[in-house]
């Protein structure tokens, strides 16, 4: 797709289908997916014309290739932007867990990790909502990372660096959430203040992070994202409630 982002209407359709999937697995199956990322969302392609053109292009101008041992290796050839998409399907339940059981173990892809998972607060279904909110904003739509968790000197993902990025975007976490976390004292003092010396807090806003939409559309979209990106898991909307969101249905 142009600009490596989905068009707004395609995005809304995909989000609705993801929320329907989450509502089903949360309420009917009592499962937390824990691994929502682009790799685990399959997008059905209804526009077969792009497949036919792909084949024709390959026949007219074959892709370069090289032989390594007994294998033939080809570079990727891109499809043209399709005119019609089908269903978006949530797949790969290999990391799913029972949602009714209390747990605080590590989970989720690093950059999608929810605050309760990082702080080792007991977590469940709302972790998926955070995961989807981050993915929608930074991969599906903007094509850029909202959080990286990259430590400024170590050059790799570190939980405290990720928490600092969230604080910079959402402000400090509620004291009660920190107190519920096994790892809370590792990052915050008794007054709830950030006590990590090697990672600074850099303030920014969601408005600055979103540069594709404008006006009322942008305001509605950011309100939708904020309803998912809440520090407290209990403050996030459920998948069913999110399906009624004004931006999603505009």
How does pLDDT run along the chain (250 residues), one tens digit per residue? 666 667 788 888 889 999 999 999 999 999 999 999 989 999 888 888 999 999 999 999 999 999 999 999 999 888 888 888 888 999 999 999 999 998 999 999 999 999 999 999 999 999 999 999 998 876 555 556 789 999 999 989 999 999 999 999 999 999 999 999 999 999 999 888 999 999 999 998 888 777 677 888 888 999 999 999 999 999 999 999 999 999 999 8
pLDDT given for residue 15 in this prediction:
92
pLDDT given for residue 3 in this prediction:
65
101-242: in CATH 1.10.510.10: yes
Beta bridge partners of 31: 98
**C-alpha to C-alpha distance for 36 and 76, rounded to whole angstroms:** 25
Q: Choose among 212, 207, 237, 154: nearest CA to 6.
A: 212
What tokens does 19 get?
């929320």
**C-alpha to C-alpha distance for 186 and 189, rounded to whole angstroms:** 8
pLDDT given for residue 209 in this prediction:
73
Give the side-chain half-sphere CA count within 13 A for 212: 17
Chain centre to alpha carbon of residue 147: 10
pLDDT given for residue 2 in this prediction:
64
pLDDT given for residue 1 in this prediction:
67
Q: Choose among 78, 75, 54, 79: nearest CA to 65.
A: 75
**C-alpha to C-alpha distance for 232 and 173, rounded to whole angstroms:** 8
Angle at 114 between CA 216 and CA 107, to 5 degrees: 140
pTM comes to 0.88
Q: Which residue among the candidates 23, 35, 57, 122 is catalytic per the annotation?
A: 35
Burial 84-108 (b: 16+ CB within 10 A, else e): ebeebebeeeeeebebeeeebeebb
**C-alpha to C-alpha distance for 120 and 57, rounded to whole angstroms:** 52
Give the side-chain half-sphere CA count within 13 A for 220: 15
pLDDT given for residue 6 in this prediction:
73
**C-alpha to C-alpha distance for 27 and 102, rounded to whole angstroms:** 16
Examine the residue annotation and report whether 35 is marked as an active-site residue of this protein. Answer: yes
Spans of all domains in the chain: 101-242
Beta bridge partners of 88: 43
Q: What is the CA radius of gyration of the chain?
A: 21
pLDDT given for residue 45 in this prediction:
86
The answer to whether 130 touches 143, Cβ cutoff 8 Å, is no
């Amino acid at each position: 797709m142009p600009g490596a982002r989905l068009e707004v209407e395609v995005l809304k359709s995909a989000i609705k289908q993801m929320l329907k999937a989450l509502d089903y697995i949360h309420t009917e199956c009592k499962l937390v997916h824990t691994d929502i990322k682009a790799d685990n969302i399959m997008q059905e392609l209804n526009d077969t014309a792009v497949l036919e053109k792909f084949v024709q292009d390959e026949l007219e101008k074959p892709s370069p290739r090289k032989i390594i041992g007994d294998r033939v290796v080809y570079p990727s050839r891109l499809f043209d932007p399709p005119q019609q998409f089908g269903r978006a399907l949530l797949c790969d339940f290999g990391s799913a867990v029972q949602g009714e059981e209390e747990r605080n173990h590590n989970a989720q892809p690093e950059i999608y990790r929810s605050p309760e998972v990082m702080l080792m607060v007991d977590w469940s279904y709302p972790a998926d909502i955070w995961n989807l909110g981050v993915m929608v904003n930074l991969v599906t739509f903007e094509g850029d990372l909202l959080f990286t968790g990259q430590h400024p000197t170590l050059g790799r993902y570190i939980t405290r660096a990720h928490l600092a990025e969230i604080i910079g975007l959402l402000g400090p976490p509620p004291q009660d959430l920190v107190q519920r976390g096994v790892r809370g004292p590792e990052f915050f003092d008794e007054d709830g203040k950030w006590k990590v010396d090697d990672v600074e807090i850099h303030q920014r806003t969601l408005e600055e992070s979103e540069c594709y939409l404008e006006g009322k559309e942008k305001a509605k979209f950011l309100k939708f994202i904020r309803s998912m990106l809440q520090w407290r898991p209990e403050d996030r909307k459920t998948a069913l409630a999110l399906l009624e969101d004004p931006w999603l249905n505009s």
